[in-house]
Amino acid sequence: MTTLPVFVIGQAPRPDLAAEIAVAAPGLPIAMRGALDGLSRTEIAALAPRDGADTLFTILPDGESVSISKAAVTARMKTMLEATQGPVLLACTGAFKGLPDRPGLVQPSAVLNGLAAALLPRGRLGLFVPLTEQAAALGGSRAREGLSIVVRALRPQSDAATRDAAMAAMAREKPDLLVLDCISYTRADKAAAVAAMDCPVLLSVAVAARAAACLLPED
């Protein structure tokens, strides 16, 4: 099978993310690269977000989580895409503008929006996002007529008690559909959501990986 390039907004490797993709799309070979590959920790720290709309969350290969500038990542991602042919999975649920206009680029934000619109034309959409400062921007990017949105922050890799408390708070909002709106959420996060709520739950990395796999030749 053709190898799928996976571009993360931080640095490769991301074994946690690779493991989630392997479960979502069994047998799919991937080649992972990072927008911040080659940068030192000091250089990454210099790419701090300007505000909430410019904030991205990522996990570095050593497991440390950081906030970085979306504008800085977009510029570096654009260069990577211009040098890459064929389908590419952009491993982030943020909506990126200014990237090359190409049919093979899978931006999870667009895929999730389309799937959420198909599953929930009208109703109440729940979103989990990594950081409180992202809530307004990511909630606004999912807004459409006939939809009410409730957004809660839950940092990926949170301990079980923190995660369970967040799930209980979201359950009280009674969403009709829940989106785990970060590529770093895992099957364990989805399992906790399913246990707490009576609604369908979309795990971003699984949705994105399956969509990208559809673009590759079949064996």
The runs of H, that is alpha helices, within the chain are 15-24, 41-45, 70-82, 108-119, 135-141, 160-171, 187-196, 204-213
Give the DSSP letter of residue 134. G
Closest among 5, 8, 65 to 29, alpha carbons compared: 5
Share of the chain above pLDDT 70, in %: 100
Query: What pLDDT shows up at residue 104?
Result: 92
pLDDT at 4 over 80: yes
The residue type found at 176 is: D
Q: pLDDT above 90 covers what percent of the chain? A: 86
Q: What is the predicted pLDDT for the residue at 208?
A: 97
| Cα 87 from Cα 199, distance rounded (Å) | 32
What is the model's pLDDT at position 95?
Answer: 87
pTM for the complete prediction?
0.93
Distance CA 114, CA 84 (A): 25
Return contacts of 148-151, CB within 8 angstroms, 24+ apart: 148/123, 148/124, 149/124, 149/125, 150/124, 150/125, 150/126, 150/175, 151/126, 151/127
Mean pLDDT of the 134-155 span: 89
Q: Smallest Cα–Cα separation from 149: which of 135, 134, 168?
A: 135
Please give the Cα distance from 31 to 5 (Å, whole number). Answer: 5
Contacts of 27 (CB under 8 A, 6+ apart): 1
Q: Which domains does the chain have, with CATH numbers?
A: 4-107+207-213 (no CATH), 110-203 (3.40.50.1860)
Helix (H, G, I), strand (E, B) or coil at 32: strand
**C-alpha to C-alpha distance for 133 and 97, rounded to whole angstroms:** 20
CA distances (Å), origin 44, targets 32, 78, 155, 188: 19, 18, 19, 29
**pLDDT above 80 for 176:** yes
- pLDDT at 1 > cutoff 70: no
How far is CA 18 from each of CA 6, 69, 121, 183, rounded to the nearest angstrom?
A: 9, 23, 32, 11
